Amino acid sequence: MMTELWRQLARRRTWVALAGTALVPVIIAVAIVVNDGGGGGDGGGGGGDPTGLFELATASGLNFALVSVAAMSGFLVPVVVALFTGDAVSSEAGWGSLRYLLARPVPRSRLLGRKLAVGVLLGLVAVAIVPLSGVIAGTIAFGWGGVQTPFGVLAAGEAIPRLVAICAYVAWSTAWVAAVAFWLSTTTDAPVGAVAGTIVLVIVVQILDAISALGSLREWLPVHESIAWLGLLATPVRTTDLARGILLQVPYVVVFLGLAFWHFRRKDVLS
- Looking at residue 101, its pLDDT comes to 58
Q: How far apart are CA 170 and CA 88, in angstroms?
A: 22
- State residue 100's pLDDT score: 52
Are 247 and 220 within 8 A, CB to CB? no
pLDDT for 104 equals 61
pLDDT at residue number 196: 94
**What pLDDT is recorded for position 85?**
92
Residue by residue, DSSP assigns 78-97 as: HHHHHHHHHTTTHHHHHHT-
Question: pTM for the complete prediction?
Answer: 0.88
From first to last of its 271 residues, the chain has per-residue pLDDT tens of 677 788 788 888 899 999 999 999 999 999 999 987 554 444 444 446 777 788 889 999 999 999 999 999 999 999 999 999 998 887 765 554 555 555 565 677 888 888 899 999 999 999 999 999 999 999 999 999 889 988 889 999 999 999 999 999 999 999 999 999 999 988 888 888 899 999 999 999 999 999 999 999 999 999 999 999 999 998 889 999 999 999 999 999 999 999 999 988 776 554 4
Concatenated DSSP letters of 215-266: GGGGGGSTTTTTTGGGGGGSSS---HHHHHHHHHHHHHHHHHHHHHHHHHHH
Letter for the amino acid at 44?
A: G
67 within 8 A of 230, measured Cβ to Cβ: no
